[in-house]
Amino acid sequence: MGEKIAIVTDSTAYLPQAVTEELEIYSVALSVTIDGKSYIEDKDIEEHSFYDLVKNAKTFPTTSQPAPGEFVSLYESLRDKGFDTIISIHLSSGISGTYQNAISAGELVSGVNVIAYDSEIACMAMGMMVEKAAHLAKDGATSDTILSNLDAMKQALDAYFIVDDLNHLARGGRLSNAQAIIGSLLQIKPILHFEDTKIVLFEKIRTQKKALRRIEALLGEAVANKTAQQAHIVQGNCYEKAEAWKNELQKQYPTVDFKISYFGPVIATHLGEGALALVWTIK
pLDDT tens-digit readout, 110-141: 999 999 999 999 999 999 999 999 999 999 99
Q: Quick one: pLDDT at residue 264? A: 96
Pairing of strands 230-235, 257-262: parallel
The chain-wide mean pLDDT, for the chain, equals: 94
Residue 183 has pLDDT above 70, yes or no: no
Does the domain at residues 5-30+65-155 carry the CATH identifier 2.60.120.10?
no
Average pLDDT, integer, range 22-49: 94
- Averaged over 14-24, what is the pLDDT? 96
Model confidence at 102, in pLDDT bands (50, 70, 90)?
very high
- pLDDT > 70: percent of the chain: 96
pLDDT above 80: residue 2: no
Residue 185 has a pLDDT of 60
Report pLDDT for 1. 61
Residue 24 confidence class, pLDDT cut points 50, 70, 90: very high
Q: Is pLDDT of 189 > 90?
A: no
Query: For the segment 201-241, what is each residue's pLDDT rounded down to a tens digit?
Result: 999 898 889 999 999 999 999 999 999 999 999 999 999 99
Question: What integer pLDDT is reported at residue 198 of this predicted model?
Answer: 94
177: pLDDT strictly greater than 80? no
Nearest to 14 by CA among 41, 35, 37: 41
pLDDT given for residue 174 in this prediction: 86
- Give the per-residue pLDDT at 180: 60
In the chain, where are the structural domains located? Answer: 5-30+65-155, 157-281
CATH (residue range 157-281): 3.30.1180.10
Which of 119, 206, 212 lies closest to 160 in space, CA to CA?
Answer: 212
Q: Give the residue from 117, 119, 144, 102 showing the smallest Cα distance to 3.
A: 144
| Per-residue model confidence as pLDDT tens digits over 244-277 | 999 999 999 999 999 999 999 999 999 999 999 9
Contact between residue 30 and residue 101 where contact means Cβ atoms under 8 Å apart: no
Furthest-apart CA atoms within the chain: distance in Å: 61
Do the Cβ atoms of 109 and 79 come closer than 8 Å? yes
Q: What percent of the chain has pLDDT over 90?
A: 84
List 8's β-bridge partners, or say none: 26, 88
Closest among 132, 150, 139 to 25, alpha carbons compared: 132
Nearest to 66 by CA among 146, 10, 150, 140: 10
CB 12 within 8 A of CB 264: yes
Res 252: pLDDT: 96
